[in-house]
Each structure stands twice: as structure tokens, then as C-alpha cells.
Structure 1
Amino acid sequence: MRAQPIPTSVGIGLRPAHVAHVLQHRPAVPFFELHSENLFCAGGALWDAFDALRRDYPVSLHGVGLSLGSADPLDPAHLAALRALVQRAEPALVSEHVCWGAIGGRHYNDLLPLPYTEEALDLMVARVGQLQEALGRRVLVENVSSYIHFSHSTLSEWEFLAALAARSGCGLLLDVNNVYVNSVNHGFDAQRFIDGVPADAVGELHLAGFTRKHGLGGELLIDSHDQRVDAAVWALYGYTLARIGARPSLIEWDQHLPDFAVLEDEARLATEHLDVVTALAA
């Protein structure tokens, strides 16, 4: 059963704690996104819930563990499991991250950044090509938050993403929160980042909350996904929509999960921004 297309509206990242609520109340959410790895099982309660969910809602799959940018080859077992999942679930969108998170058989509980060099770009182009060939479809890749900057990087992050999309044919999942987090952490203009991303490559936008930390080195933002979207990120989201046009957007919340109504309210706020750009384009 092929999933319905993702509408140009605001969806919610569905976590297991909210599955029962969604199945019981069938809220008016335009689409849901689930983490791919949570569905690598052959069956069980979560798969039953997913099957029931995708009959009524468009769904996308968002991977967090493939480690596309690792110096090690892609894990064949992980890639095979993802291919089997995509063939079985037929999601509207499949996405991954521009990062690494595993090497030498060890997996780290984080999405770790790459140096933005020609060598890393060549590696990512090859890995994205391998992924798209294995799945038989175009994928979206997401920019990640980071807390270090590699001094030997020769490209800006946005130049890296633009070149990756152009050379591999993939799309971009532009995380607006991550753009803002990195702009503060690394001292660049967030709007310049948005201006440097090819609009026609962007297939989806993500929004989430961050945590502010203060220390001897100044302010640091942590992409914690455990609170409401910050006012500065809402402003950047508005700028992004004005720059690239309306795109499917998603509210993410992964820790200290609130009542589902809080996520719906965040989606309502995003919809108000989306409606503005949609009205201007009409």
C-alpha cells in the first residue's frame, strides 16, 4: 500500500509514546514522520500501529543510524533492513542525515558533523548514490547541528549541501532549527545559509526546540528537541519560506515529551507562517 503524498502543510514527528493517542483520536494532522530504525522489526505492536496509521495519514521515514559520512563502508545489514522497510512501507518520503555516527563497529548516540572539504564531499556523493541506488528512489538528506568547527574545512556548510544535492541528485531536508543553532555556535549569518541553499532541492523543512547554555566561551545552543520552537527560529522559518517558497514542514520533539496537544499547537504556529507565504504566492 503506497503512502499518500506528503502535502505542503505541517506534520508532526510521531514518537511511540503518542501512537496510542493518535490511533484513538485520529487528530487532524496532515502527515506524520517516523524514525526508520523503530520499524526494522518484522512485526509486532508498533508495526500493527504503523499499518493502521498509514491507511489514514501520509507518512515519511527519517533515518538516524545509517552513518552516511563514516570512513567505514555503509553497514550492509542496516542498508538491507532499510531497503526492506521502504519496500514494505512505501513511504512518501525517505530521509537521512549529512553526518557520521559509527566507525569500527562502534555506534555513538549522536549525529556527528563532517569537515566540509572536497574529500568529504566526494565520500558523501558516493554514499548518497549508493543509498539511492539501493532504495530505488531519491532521498532527502538533512543538515545537522554541531558544536565544533573543523579548521581545515574549505567549504561553507551551505556550499557543501548545495554541491551534494547537485552532484548526487538527492534532495535536501532543511532543518531550520539546526541552521540557527549552528549560526550562533559558529558565528555565521543564518540568512546567508538559507540564501546559499538551492531552493529547488529543498523537499522538506524541520522545526524543533533548542537549549541555551552559557559558559566561559560564551553562549552555546544545544539541539535538544525538548521544548518549543524559539522565537528566533520562527523568524528564520518565515525568512526561509519567503526565500524558497512553501514546503512540507515538520515539528520534532524527542525528549521530555509533552501532551500531544502541545505538538499540535506548535504545528498550528508553523501553519500560520506557511499560510502567509501561500497567500502571497496565490
Structure 2
Amino acid sequence: MPLSLRSEAALADRLPHRAGVGLKLDHVSEILADKADMGFFEVHPENYMGAGGPPHHYLTAIRERYPLSLHGVGLSIGAAGPLDKAHLKRLRELLDRYQPQSFSEHLAWSTHDTGFLNDLLPLPYTQETLSLVAAHVSEVQERLGRAMLIENPSTYVAFSSSDMDEVDFLAELAARTGCGLLLDVNNVYVSATNHGYSPEAYLDRFPLHLVGEVHLAGHAVDADEAGAPLLIDTHDRAVTDAVWTLYERVIARAGPLPTLVEWDSELPDWPVLAAEAKRAETILNARREPCHGRRVAS
């Protein structure tokens, strides 16, 4: 039996059904001083794999007051080679230390032999790839002693060798391994625009009962060689209106889900980022059942 979240309810209850933001050290002092009303915070575990120092001091203070999500970027879950055992060991130690409500990773690869590429690269959606990724997800879950969430990617190229679409790939991955899914709505919009398909149709087919967290972020608009729009998932600006509209579509169908606003570079002042989370919280509250209206104390 694969390690599993065991039920849709268990998956949904890992994080509060509220809005959160990515935690940046630039904002921590203000967050703690103001006792910010935030559903949860998320960090990249790779930034906290040292033994101590200011990052751990501040993350400990945040974890004492708020739920926490860890969102990995270094596992290279789709790589052809074996997983990095030393990285998994450090990750397990970090999870044991902070006991986050959620751990997630990307459907991507970033390693080749002994080299590490500073990017999250796409995969062909084939049965061979599915078997490889499923084996890696199962190994991660076994070593970490918990189920994980896998995020849909933003992509800029497609593989002619793919014999299934992304939604079917993710759904089958979850069925084989018992993992949950992280739905990044901005990634859906970026990929759909770049490849010329409907983001609404994609989201209408997405297995929302498997979603343990939603991501929202900003993107940049560029152009390809033919002058067609090319969207780049940059996480360096506010969420666009088009992505907010898609997010409302998701929440209208699924009900409230834990929702994170990502903003990783060109950081705004804390009130600007908090306002983005507040907009997501307003959408969540509009779909909240009266009996689920209790807020999580921060």
C-alpha cells in the first residue's frame, strides 16, 4: 500500500482553509510585531538546511504562532537518476524539527549526473516518466514518513513524445502513490497561454478533491520569436486579474482551500503582500459555509 493521506478530509485539513504568504526575512520583524492576521506561512526548506543562525531563529518564532508549509525546490523528483539521499536526510531533519502542516515539491527535474541546474525543467508526459516519478514520490514519502503534495508546473515547451495530458498524468500519479496535489493557478494560466489551450477547461478537469494547497503568483509578459505572447512565471509582482478570475472559478467549484500568495523577488513592503493575501481571503470567505467560519488564531 502506498503511503497515503488516507482521505480527502485529511488532505484538506493539513493547513487551515485560509490565505497565507511566502515568508521572507525582510518581513518577519513586522509580522511578529503586528501579530499579523495570516492563515499560514510557507518557506523553501533549502533555505533552512543549516544548523542555526537568524533564519532558524525567526522561523522558530513564526512556527510558534502560525501553521507552516514547506515547499521544496531541490528534490528533482523527475530526474532520471536516483534521488539525493543526503538532501532527503536534511529534509527529514527539518520536517522533524518544525512539524509543518504540509510539504510539497514540483513536478520537474533540475539535476543531471552530479550537476545541478538552477531551474525547474519540464517532463514528457509518458508512461515511462510516470513510472519514474511515481517511484521517486513513493521513496520520498517513505523516507519522510508523510504524504507530500506535487505541484503542476509552468511550462514553455511541450514534448512531442507525450502520450497523456498533464491533468491525467497528475491524477494517475496521485492514484499510484497516495500523494496529494498542489494546484498553482498562475502556472495553469502561464502554460495555457504559452501552449494555446483553455485554462478554464484545464481547471474544470483538475481533481480538486486531491488538492491540499493552492498557489497564486504574478508573471511577466514577453513574446516568442513569432511575436506571440510568452508568459514567464516570475513571482516578482502582484497576481493578475486573469489569475484571480481563474482562482474564483476554482473556489466556486471546490469551496475554500488553503491558498498561498507567492512573491519571491522584487519584494514589496509587507502591507502590499498582506493585501494580496487579504484579497484571497475575501474570495475564500465568500464561499465559506457558516459552520466553517471560525478563524484560526494567529
Secondary structure at the residue paired with 1:56?
Answer: coil
**Residue 113, structure 1, aligned to residue 133, structure 2:** no
**Residue 42, structure 1, aligned to residue 51, structure 2:** yes
The 1-side partners of 2:179 and 2:93 are apart by 20
**Residue 225, structure 1, aligned to residue 225, structure 2:** no
Check conservation: 1:11, 1:30, Cα contact below 8 A: yes
The 1-side partners of 2:253 and 2:190 are apart by 19
Secondary structure at the residue paired with 2:181?
Answer: strand
Q: For residue 84 of structure 1, what is the aligned residue in structure 2?
A: 93
Structure 1 counterpart of 2:256, which letter?
A
**For the structure 1 residues 275 and 117, does the alpha-carbon distance in structure 2 shift closer, same or farther, using more than 3 Å as the test?**
same
**Residue 191, structure 1, aligned to residue 210, structure 2:** no
Check conservation: 2:251, 2:284, Cα contact below 8 A: yes
Query: What RMSD, in angstroms, separates the aligned Cα atoms of the two structures?
Result: 1.6
The 2-side partners of 1:34 and 1:166 are apart by 27
Give 1:102's match in structure 2, choosing from 111, 136, 142.
111
Shift of 1:200: 1.6
Q: For residue 136 of structure 2, what is the aligned residue in structure 1?
A: 127
Shift of 1:281: 9.6
Q: Provide, for residues 173-202 of structure 1, a one-character-per-residue CA deviation record: whole Å limited to 9, x for no partner.
A: 100000010000011111221122212211
Check conservation: 1:5, 1:58, Cα contact below 8 A: no
Give 2:189's match in structure 1, choosing from 169, 180, 184.
180
Q: TM-score under structure 1 normalisation?
A: 0.95
Q: For residue 216 of structure 2, what is the aligned residue in structure 1?
A: 207
Q: TM-score under structure 2 normalisation?
A: 0.90
Aligned length: 279
**Residue 256, structure 1, aligned to residue 266, structure 2:** yes
**Residue 93, structure 1, aligned to residue 110, structure 2:** no
Q: For residue 153 of structure 2, what is the aligned residue in structure 1?
A: 144
The 2-side partners of 1:30 and 1:98 are apart by 25
- Give % identity: 48
Check conservation: 1:62, 1:94, Cα contact below 8 A: yes
Question: Which runs of 5 or more structure 2 residues have no equivalent in the other structure?
Answer: 1-12, 293-298
Shift of 1:280: 9.1
Q: For residue 216 of structure 1, what is the aligned residue in structure 2?
A: 225
Shift of 1:244: 2.2
Structure 2 counterpart of 1:192, which letter?
A
Secondary structure at the residue paired with 2:64?
Answer: helix
Question: Which runs of 5 or more structure 1 residues have no equivalent in the other structure?
Answer: none
Check conservation: 1:13, 1:252, Cα contact below 8 A: yes
Q: Provide, for residues 42-93 of structure 1, a one-character-per-residue CA deviation record: whole Å limited to 9, x for no partner.
A: 1111111111111111111110111010011001111111011111111111
Q: For residue 281 of structure 2, what is the aligned residue in structure 1?
A: 271
**Residue 246, structure 1, aligned to residue 256, structure 2:** yes
Q: Which has the higher contact order (CA 8 A, sep 6+)?
A: 2
**Residue 23, structure 1, aligned to residue 56, structure 2:** no
Secondary structure at the residue paired with 1:91?
Answer: coil
Q: For residue 5 of structure 2, what is the aligned residue in structure 1?
A: none
Q: For residue 154 of structure 1, what is the aligned residue in structure 2?
A: 163
Shift of 1:20: 2.6
**Residue 32, structure 1, aligned to residue 41, structure 2:** yes
Structure 2 counterpart of 1:266, which letter?
E
The 2-side partners of 1:118 and 1:195 are apart by 24
Secondary structure at the residue paired with 1:213?
Answer: strand
The 2-side partners of 1:107 and 1:7 are apart by 34
Q: For residue 72 of structure 1, what is the aligned residue in structure 2?
A: 81
The 2-side partners of 1:120 and 1:216 are apart by 30
Secondary structure at the residue paired with 2:247?
Answer: helix
Structure 2 counterpart of 1:163, which letter?
E
